[in-house]
Amino acid sequence: PVELVRGIQFSPPVSPDGKLIAYAKTEGQGSQARSKIEIQKLDDGTILTEVGLPPTYTWHRLAWTPDGKALTFVHNTTGSTQDVYMQPLSGGEPVQLTHFEKSIVVPDYAWSGDGKKFAVTRGHYNDTDVVMFSGFK
């Protein structure tokens, strides 16, 4: 094994072509902390791109779009609502892909292989059920 990077926040996704890896890093602490996404080549470890995110971004679930031209992630838009955003690698501001009402959590999402469909798992904060299954054989 070869260490690619140290101190990342969550599982880094590999690009659709298998040549790049994306990961989040936070530099600084407290009110001085700044998050960014880094795009790194897998073959030699060269960092190709750094995308800074606004300091107010609380986010998770980083993924590539099927065409490899953007990254998507879940962002807490209001503190109690999560939406999926897309950050083009060419730069610019992240684009909000979903517009959910308040108190929605997005645990997961996925793109179809051709990039034409997008699936989202969502639920409500503090709205859970306990279910007991029985009679399995």
pLDDT tens, position by position, 58-84: 678 899 999 999 999 988 877 678 899
Strands 82-88 and 59-64: unpaired
Q: Which of 91-95, 110-114, 132-136 is predicted least confidently?
A: 132-136
Average pLDDT, the chain: 84
Look up the pTM and report it: 0.80
Please give the average per-residue pLDDT across 95-106, as a whole number.
88
Neighbour tally for 119: CB within 10 Å: 9
Task: Return d(Cα 34, Cα 23) in angstroms, integer.
Answer: 14
Residue of 35, 40, 39, 43 whose CA lies nearest to 59: 35
* Bridge partners, 36 (sequence order): 25, 52
Task: Return d(Cα 91, Cα 98) in angstroms, integer.
Answer: 20
Please give the average per-residue pLDDT across 23-47, as a whole number.
85
Name residues whose C-beta falls within 8 Å of residue 79's C-beta, 6 or more positions apart in sequence.
none
C-alpha triplet 71, 75, 76: angle, nearest 5°: 180
How far, in whole angstroms, is CA 114 from its chain's centroid? 19
Give the pLDDT score at 96: 92
pLDDT at residue 130 greater than cutoff 80: no
Give the pLDDT score at 124: 80
